[in-house]
Amino acid sequence: MPVDAQGPAGEPDAAVPGQRVLPHTWEEARATAFTVAGPLPALDLALAQAAGRKLAADVFALQPMPHYASSAMDGWAVAGSPPWILAEPGRRLSPGQAVPIVTGGLLPPGAKAVLRSEAGLLSTDDDGLPVLVLGGAARPGEPKNGQHIRPAGQEAAQGELLAKAGTVLNPAHISLAALGGLDTLSVLGRPAVQLVLTGDEVVQSGIPAPGRVRDAFTPQLGGVVELLGGTVVGLRRAADNLAATLEALADAEGNPADVVVTTGATGRSSADFLRPAIERMGGIFHIDGIAMRPGHPSLLAEFPDGRFLVGLPGNPLAAMVALLTVGAPLLARLGSSPMPPTFEVACGSPIKEYHGPTRIVPYRLVYGLASPCANTDSAMMRGLAAADGLMVVPPHGAKMGEALTALGLPWK
Ligand SMILES: Nc1nc2c(c(=O)[nH]1)N[C@H]1C(S)=C(S)[C@@H](COP(=O)(O)OP(=O)(O)OC[C@H]3O[C@@H](n4cnc5c(N)ncnc54)[C@H](O)[C@@H]3O)O[C@H]1N2
Ligand code: MOO
């Protein structure tokens, strides 16, 4: 391991092509993954594509809402007092005139109220001419001035603020924008993520033969990436050879990714082709190993085309720890979100000193204390399945009740 990759303050230097960086601590790895990227640019999306996205700019009504005075009921637009003579549609109403109108219909000028259809009767006057009179279900005093009229601008004036930048758009916001006259919304960029899974021994279904292993990632990794703010644009499998790895890491034309998340092949054995492939493609390593267990061989690299690569180890728990340590801050940063927060938990049982790196331990909260889960070897998933979070145990261990840094799980 070269020592010349170390800066004057003992911090790992910015990556240089062909040069290895020193392993990062868990904290350094998170910080590096967050600061190595910048927020993706905002983009305009059609309303139908914008739900769930975060607004990049304030949204203002392009027109008064509603943009014309309309009827809130089926019935008649009326002016003055009953009886009303039925006027020709499209003309200004004079006192004593009425015209049929439907819900949402444009109110004619001069109209003072809308009489509901069940509150009026078509009749004839003394001369046998058709008139509208009160009747049926008319309530006392109906129609009052302005009754059942939706005035223009009742909900919002033109130019009024409808939603603030930073709002996560729900379906009601989308309707609101449509009613405000907008066709598109400016939303913050969300990183597009290509998944690349390695491992010739990995099988997709059924009971694997000895030497084969069920794929622990395909059924869930994309879901976790989405919870972390990424959009999965594809999943590829790479056979354990250099050519296949290079092919799988190539950017997809017409469907470009911002981040490639790989699983497996982070080791240095003759069956691991990830590092050689990254080097062959001119990639630089921002993180090449983390002083943590599990997940120590995790990688963060950057290709000359600007795509980032998060290399997760093949062992399932190690991969999830690596994803939450490196992938989560990177995806947050690209998506203009803050650093995923840490918090403190009180350790629920004494943890012995360990001659090795920081341990990232799935814990369960028992009576408010963080109790280490069982079955947390790097190839196991029972511990994480039962966990409430991950706690960061330093090499010297922890005392009962000691405050430890912890990380939440995106699905909790
Ligand atoms: N000599 C050393 N050997 C290993 C070291 C080391 O430091 N020196 N580190 C160990 C650790 S820790 C890890 S983690 C792994 C990293 O391995 P790779 O990232 O190269 O991954 P693979 O070798 O491809 O696979 C490791 C393990 O994971 C299983 N795997 C892979 N993909 C899947 C999947 N989709 N679903 C379920 N399981 C998967 C694979 O079958 C292996 O059992 O290296 C150690 N070795
Ligand atoms: O560090 Mo490995 O990633 O423990 O299993």
344-366: per-residue pLDDT in tens? 999 999 999 988 899 999 999 99
| 162 and 237, same domain (yes or no) | no
| 396 and 328, same domain (yes or no) | no
| 133 and 166, same domain (yes or no) | no
Q: Is residue 15 part of a domain?
A: no
Q: What is the pTM of this model?
A: 0.86
Q: What is the model's pLDDT at position 1?
A: 27
Q: What is the model's pLDDT at position 16?
A: 64
Q: What is the model's pLDDT at position 18?
A: 58
Which CATH number do you get for residue 163? 3.90.105.10
Residue that finishes a domain, picked among 317, 335, 353: 335
Q: Is residue 19 part of a domain?
A: no
| 118 and 139, same domain (yes or no) | yes
Residue 70, class by beta-carbon neighbours within 10 Å (0-12 exposed, 13-18 middle, 19+ buried)?
A: buried
Give the nearest ligand 2 atom to 378 CA.
5
Q: What is the model's pLDDT at position 136?
A: 80
| 194 and 330, same domain (yes or no) | yes
Gap between the Cα atoms of 62 and 181, Å rounded:
5
| 223 and 201, same domain (yes or no) | yes
Q: Is the dihedral of CA 399, 404, 408, 409 positive or negative?
A: negative
Q: What is the ipTM of this complex?
A: 0.98
Q: Is residue 14 part of a domain?
A: no
Give the nearest ligand 2 atom to 379 CA.
5
69-128: pLDDT as tens digits: 999 999 999 999 999 999 999 899 999 999 999 999 999 999 999 999 999 999 998 888
Q: Is residue 87 part of a domain?
A: yes
Q: Is residue 370 part of a domain?
A: yes
Sequential pLDDT tens for the chain (412 residues): 233 334 333 444 456 665 667 789 999 999 999 999 999 999 999 999 999 999 999 999 999 999 999 999 999 999 999 999 999 998 999 999 999 999 999 999 999 999 999 999 999 988 888 899 998 888 998 999 999 999 999 999 999 999 999 999 999 999 999 999 999 999 999 999 999 999 999 999 999 999 999 999 999 999 999 999 999 999 999 999 999 999 999 988 877 899 999 999 999 988 899 999 999 999 999 999 999 999 999 999 999 999 999 999 999 999 999 999 999 999 999 999 999 999 999 999 999 998 889 999 999 999 999 999 999 999 999 999 999 999 999 999 999 999 999 999 999 9
| 253 and 228, same domain (yes or no) | yes
Tally of domains within the chain: 4
Residue to mutate (ligand 1; options 218, 261, 310, 315; most atoms within 8 A of CB): 315
Q: What is the model's pLDDT at position 19?
A: 61
| 50 and 161, same domain (yes or no) | yes
User: 6 C-alpha to center of ligand 1: Å?
Assistant: 27
Residue 319, class by beta-carbon neighbours within 10 Å (0-12 exposed, 13-18 middle, 19+ buried)?
A: buried
Residue that finishes a domain, picked among 187, 207, 232: 187
| 301 and 166, same domain (yes or no) | no
| CA distance from start to end of the chain | 38
Q: Is residue 13 part of a domain?
A: no
Residue that finishes a domain, picked among 150, 167, 198: 150
Q: What is the model's pLDDT at position 405?
A: 98
Q: Is residue 21 part of a domain?
A: no
User: 356 C-alpha to center of ligand 1: Å?
Assistant: 18
Dihedral of the alpha carbons of 34, 37, 43, 49, in degrees to the nearest 10? -50
| 295 and 197, same domain (yes or no) | yes
Q: What is the model's pLDDT at position 12?
A: 45
Q: Is residue 275 part of a domain?
A: yes
296 ligand 2 Cβ < 6 A = yes
Which CATH number do you get for residue 347? 2.40.340.10
Q: Which of 377, 368, 373 is nearest to 386 (CA)?
A: 373
Is the link from the previous residue into 143 a cis peptide, with omega within 30 of 0? yes
| 194 and 313, same domain (yes or no) | yes
| 161 and 292, same domain (yes or no) | no
Which ligand has its closest atom nearest to the C-alpha of 216? Answer: 1
Which ligand has its closest atom nearest to the C-alpha of 237? Answer: 1
Domain that residue 56 falls in: 44-65+155-187
- The DSSP result for 180-226, as a single string, is TT-SEEEE----EEEEEEE-TTEESSSPPPTT-EE-SSTTTHHHHHH
264 ligand 1 Cβ < 6 A = yes
User: 222 C-alpha to center of ligand 2: Å?
Assistant: 21
358 ligand 2 Cβ < 6 A = no
